Structure 1
Amino acid sequence: MSFHWENTVFTIFGFVLLYFFLNKYAFGPLFSVMEKRRELVQSQLKAAEDNRTQAEQFLQEQKQAMQDVRKEAFQIVEQARVSSLHQSEELLKQAKDESVRIKQEALNDIQAEKNKAVAALKGQVGAMSVMIASKIIEKQVDEKSQQDLVEQYLKEVGDKG
């Protein structure tokens, strides 16, 4: 094998000419497409990172909102419990007061009726005593007749009452 310097020069010249045309027509557009693709990937990575950051922030906001809602719900339930307890105590107090008032009214009514009955009974006893005395005076009877007369009048009073 022999070395021909003309072939080497011709090969180098062809390679340089091929490199020049490839650089001008192929590598330039290819590198620009690759650069655009790199920029696109970079922008998508940045957008994904921004979205992830926003999603984390939104998640934190949602967690905080849920905690606030839970606290508020607990406060509402606690307030309702305290309010219902207070209302039940108030109702019990009112019921006790009402029962004491009704009991006192009933006792007063009973006492008034008792007083009326005693007064009526005194009036009847007085009238009966007068009637018995007048009958005794009219008849002037012996002791046995007197006893029978008293029993008869007491029986009459028992039938009327």
Structure 2
Amino acid sequence: MLDSSILVLGAGGFHLNIGDMLASLIIFVVLLALLKKFAWGPLMGIMIEREQHIANEIDTAEKNRSEAERLAKEAQEQIKATRQDAQEIIENAKQTAKSQEQSIITAARQEAERIKESARQEIEQEKDKAIQALQDQVASLSVRIASKVIEKELSEKDQEKLINEYIKEVGEER
């Protein structure tokens, strides 16, 4: 027997109720529509927002990484330039020190030569004074001897004795 509302198969009691099935199907479709509108749509919107947010974060991270690499490269170049500048400053300082060393040595040598020349001149002057003083003493001594000789005529031995005495006197006066 075939009934529009019930389908019975065999002796085991398996019954299909088409009305219940249609009602269940309609409720299921309505439920799916409601889920799509109120749950699936907002859920997908959140997922899309989340996907966009993650994509933006990845882009920002890439930009930041690129910027960090660029800044690191610039810093390396600046460090390199600074090292070169420092090396140039050191080289200039060494050259300046060498030239100052040479000028100091030259000035010291010139001063030493000036002092030696001044000492030579002083020694020469003292020597000239000593010679002049000696000449004056010899002249004075000669005059004394001559006056004594004139006062009395002496023998050669007496003259030698007299000269030796005067030489001793002159030696003691010093």
- Asked if residue 121 in structure 1 is aligned to residue 139 in structure 2, the reply is no
User: Are 1:148 and 2:148 matched, yes or no?
Assistant: no
Q: Distance in 2 between matches of 1:4 and 1:93?
A: 127
* Identical columns (%): 35
Distance apart, 1:97 and its partner CA: 0.5
For the pair 1:68 / 2:81, whether they are aligned, the reply is yes
**Distance (whole Å) between structure 2 residues aligned to residue 12 and residue 72 of structure 1:** 85
Q: Please give the secondary structure, in 2, of the residue aligned with 1:141.
A: coil
- Greater helix content: 1
In the other structure, the counterpart of 2:10 is: none
Return the alpha-carbon distance in structure 1 between the equivalents of residues 160 and 82 of structure 2. Answer: 95
TM-score (norm 1): 0.92
Partner Cα distance (1:79, 1:142) in 2: 88
Moved >4 Å (runs of 4+) = 1-8
Q: Distance in 1 between matches of 2:130 and 2:106?
A: 36
Distance 1:41 1:5 in 2: 49
With 75-84 and 91-100 compared, the bigger mean Cα shift is at 75-84
Q: Distance in 2 between matches of 1:78 and 1:5?
A: 103
The structure carrying a bigger strand percent of its residues is 2
- 2:105 aligns with 92
Which letter maps to 2:123? I
1:7-156 matches, cutoff 5 A: 8-156=21-169
2-structure distance, mates of 1:40, 1:49: 14
Q: Which has the higher contact order (CA 8 A, sep 6+)?
A: 1
Superposition deviation, residue 6 in structure 1: 4.5
Return the alpha-carbon distance in structure 1 between the equivalents of residues 171 and 151 of structure 2: 23
The Cα RMSD (Å) is: 1.6
* TM-score in terms of structure 2 length: 0.85
Residues 43-87 of structure 1: CA deviation (Å, up to 9, x unaligned): 111111111111111111111111111111111111111111111
Q: Deviations over 1:99-156 (max 9, x none)?
A: 0011011111111111121122112111211211110121212222222111100101
- Offset of 1:8 from its aligned partner? 4.8
Q: Which moved more, 1:138-147 or 1:103-112?
A: 138-147
